[in-house]
Amino acid sequence: MGRIWTVLFLSDAPLTAKDLQERLQLSSGAVSMTVTELARWGVVKKVWVQGDRRDFFVAEGNFWKMISRVLAERERVEILEAIDAMEEALEYARAKIEVGDERERRRAQRQVERIEQLLELAKLGRRLLDALLQRARVDATPLLGVLLGSRE
pLDDT tens, 84-134? 999 999 999 999 888 878 898 899 999 999 999 999 999 998 988 888 888
Rounded-to-integer distance, Cα 42 and Cα 132, Å: 18
Identify the DSSP state of 65: H
Q: Which whole number is the average pLDDT over 69-73? A: 79
What's the confidence (pLDDT) of residue 146? 62
Rounded-to-integer distance, Cα 143 and Cα 152, Å: 11
Q: Which whole number is the average pLDDT over 8-28? A: 95
What is residue 59's three-state secondary structure? strand
Whether pLDDT at 138 is above 60? no
What's the confidence (pLDDT) of residue 147? 64
Are 34 and 1 in contact by the 8 Å Cβ rule? The answer is yes
Mean pLDDT of the chain: 87
